[in-house]
Structure 1
Amino acid sequence: MINFTTEQLKQIPVFGIAGNFAEHLSQAGEDADFVKVKTADPLAPKGIFPIYLPNHSSFLGVYPLSSNVIKADFSSPINLHMEPEMCVLFKVDYDANQRIQTLHPQAFSAFNDCSIRKPNAKKISEKKNWGLECTGLAQDWQAIDSFNTNDSLDNLHIASFICRNQVVQTYGMDSPVRNYQYFYQKLLDWCVVTLNTQTDFGPLENLMGYLTDLGFPTQIIISLGATRYTPFGETGYLQPDDQIGIFVYDANQTSEAALMDYFSQQTAQKNAQQPNSCIGSGCIGLIQSVKALS
């Protein structure tokens, strides 16, 4: 496993991909946001959005990542969704014209692209970063040796759970990462083109403008997209005192049922420190408590 300090992570921009799992956008009620965003391939993701930009003058400059808590303002009705995802740390190579030439996958982790469903938000990013400790990232990272079809990543799945009033339920559908609509080389090629060419249009933003402002960072984190929700997860918005868990795991070494048992045991320990790794090798876990801003 690989670990980064908070100070190291604060130097790395974070982005997310919209619409990389079938039906997620419709379940999240966000299909309408992308009506005007046309893609040549109907399976292609809709775009990339910023989550965190180091030292940026806007709200995107606030460091939102946490490995153990999600904080939000629950003083008025709020539709807050967990978004279970796999994220990847990339090394970025630029060409002589300061355009991205190549993305090199270095490591992956579990990510919670937690979102407030704001029907009137102009940009996706407005739903993602509302302050400190509003997004989830596991402490552990697993190195990526190869990013090709039929490699070990083919065995990875994403599972997620919620514990509310001592009752544990699945939140997202257990999903193989190979079921991302764009993955492996197809994803890399699409990300390079999108980062270089995406303009400020509809819910999307000019990404190269941000990268230019940041001085062309040589590392970025991209969260690859949220899984489909279970019937509970689709309408089960988060509440204070919920505990939530996201696991990126090797299905050849453990199972969703075993992880659900593990999550149940951890959340039953009311005063226990929230763990950031989980049973077995080839598994990365993120467990967070949902808290109301005081």
Structure 2
Amino acid sequence: MPGVKATALSAAILVSAARAEPLKVGGIDLDTPPSHCAPLRDAEVPKAATLGFVSGAMTASAVYWIHREQRRRRQPGKATHPREWAIWTRLDRKKKGYVTRKDLKSLCYRFESDEHAEHLAKQLDPWGMDHINFSSFINNFKVVQMMRQAGRLKLWHRCCGLGVAGNVAGHMAQAGEAGQESHSATKPAAIFSYYMPPHPYQVSDQQADKKRLQEFPVTYAVIDYPKLPGACKVQVEPELGLLVDIVYTKDRKRVDHLVPRRVAAFNDCSIRSLEGAEKLSMKKNWGFGSKGISLRSFPVDGFGPGTFVDFLALVSYMKRDGEVFQYSVKAPVRNYLLFHEPLLEWIVEQINGQKDTDKWEEIFPQLAASDFPTSSWIALGAGEYTDYGATHFLQPLDEVVVVVYDERVMPDGPGMAQVLEMFEDTPAPAGSVMLHQTFV
């Protein structure tokens, strides 16, 4: 090894000097030049020293740049840490390579988790340098996840998740869930549940083992690619998400009516092919990271004709290997097969009366088992796919953007320049809300 050889040579020089003996290393007398070597002239000594110095400097420089390139290639990023990177890009929007405590507090504020802000800052920046890089973020990511999950569950307190299947003519046929007759359908096929909160007032050992629909599936930045046996052909389902209050009858034997509150961009991500899946809901919730909803939403004060919802439209895009493709057709939400109050009334009927047949399940017993949730985010139905969307299923590291926009503000929807900015986590333009997720 070079270090060992250098140490041995240094030791030999010291011993030789102390004993006033000829310097020998490895049996070679270094004090006496070989007979075939001419002695160096005094004029050649500086030249030799200069050449040695330049040679050493060039070698050191080459070693430095090789080491630097190796370090650069080892730097963590989207390819090595896609989940952490998806969250990091929401913090480091200016692409500085670091974030501050103020950025962390902003993240907590967006999740309505202000109480976590100071703890998170101390954990990621213990020395108060106000300079947190991606490596430090990765090392403390579990703390970030805990904050985000606590914030999500607080926003979803006593809230369940329902979906409307087949509210766009032809969509279920495109999705492989129905025959061509869905093209001529005049109303949705059924409803399904994708999340039912655990009973909040029962404490038992059995509660530790959550049932399938009790696993909270909704995220804001990532989608966990399903690892279920036989799961394949995963697709984005861009939908309008509607937050409603659930009003029960006095005897709690039925749902009386729904009160609309807010609308958001929703990704009802679905597995198209899953071995042994007898119910549609089995393709909807495969655990954490099965769904997506925009953090921002529009308030609504009504759901009738002529209200704000009449001017909303929906579109989605996918990014793969740096290229962006339109994934679904731009579509006004007023084109749903059922909309306005007739849709809300139909959902109430399905909650109360839907039977356990074919791929559908009873819904009201699930609500009762969850101690009657007081609200629900309802996915109102996915639109039609573009040719690209219908033939390209999602893969890990793909990114998707779902946009709900006001046609009065954006008559033609977002332009490609705006879409590219959304993939960079720039805030959505005025008159729109958007969801950006990465598949991990």
Taking structure 2 as the reference length, what is the TM-score of the superposition?
0.60
Cα distance in 1 for residues equivalent to 2:272 and 2:266: 18
- Of the candidates 194, 208, 217, which is equivalent to residue 373 of structure 2? 217
Task: Check if 1:8 corresponds to 2:158.
Answer: no
Aligned partner (choices 211, 219, 222) of residue 69 of structure 1 = 222
Residue 121 (structure 1) aligned to one of 277, 284, 290: 277
Distance 1:287 1:159 in 2: 12
1:85 has 2:239 as partner: yes
Contact 1:3/1:141 (8 A) holds in 2:
no
Aligned with 2:331 (options 167, 175, 180):
175
Q: Is the 8 A contact 2:314 2:332 kept in 1?
A: yes
In structure 2, relative to structure 1, the CA distance for the partners of 1:171 and 1:149 (3 Å cut) is: same
Give CA-to-partner distance per residue, 1:110-160, whole Å, 9 cap, x none: 100000112542001110111111211111121111211122211100010
Match of 1:258 in 2: 414
Quote the residue 1:279 is aligned against.
Answer: 429
Q: Secondary structure at the match of 1:232?
A: helix
Q: Distance in 2 between matches of 1:76 and 1:147?
A: 40
Aligned equivalents of 1:73, 1:212: Cα separation in 2:
29
Aligned CA RMSD, in angstroms, stands at 2.3
> What is the alpha-carbon distance in structure 2 between the residues aligned to residue 213 and residue 228 of structure 1?
35
C-alpha distance in structure 2 between counterparts of 1:248 and 1:103, whole Å? 22
Which secondary structure does the structure 1 equivalent of 2:282 belong to? helix
Task: Provide the residue aligned with 1:288 in structure 2.
Answer: 437
Q: Secondary structure at the match of 1:192?
A: helix
- Residues matched between the structures, number: 278
Structure 2 residue 166 is matched with structure 1 residue 29: no
Deviations 1:71-104 (A, max 9, x none): 1146977200000000111111111232111100
User: What aligned pairs does 1:234-273 form with structure 2 within 5 A after superposition?
Assistant: 234-256=390-412, 258-267=414-423, 269=424
Q: Give the drift of 1:15.
A: 0.8
Aligned partner of 2:115 in structure 1 is none
Larger relative strand fraction: 1
Can you give the 5+ residue segments of structure 2 that lack an aligned partner in the other structure?
A: 1-109, 113-150, 200-209
Percent of aligned pairs with the same residue? 33
Aligned-residue offset at 1:241:
1.2
Q: Which runs of 5+ in 1 are unaligned?
A: none
Distance 1:42 1:233 in 2: 22
C-alpha distance in 2, partners of 1:228/1:283?
Answer: 20
Per the TM alignment, residue 220 of structure 1 is displaced from its structure 2 partner at its CA by 1.1
Deviations 1:19-75 (A, max 9, x none): 00111000001105x99xx9xx94111111010111273111111111111111469
The answer to whether the Cα contact below 8 Å between 1:163 and 1:264 also exists between their aligned partners in 2 is no
Q: Which of 162, 167, 181 is the aligned partner of 1:20?
A: 167
State the structure with bigger RCO (CA 8 A, min sep 6), 1 or 2: 1
Query: Offset of 1:163 from its aligned partner?
Result: 0.9
Runs (4+) off by over 6 Å: 74-77
The structure with more radius of gyration: 2
Q: Which moved more, 1:87-96 or 1:252-261?
A: 252-261
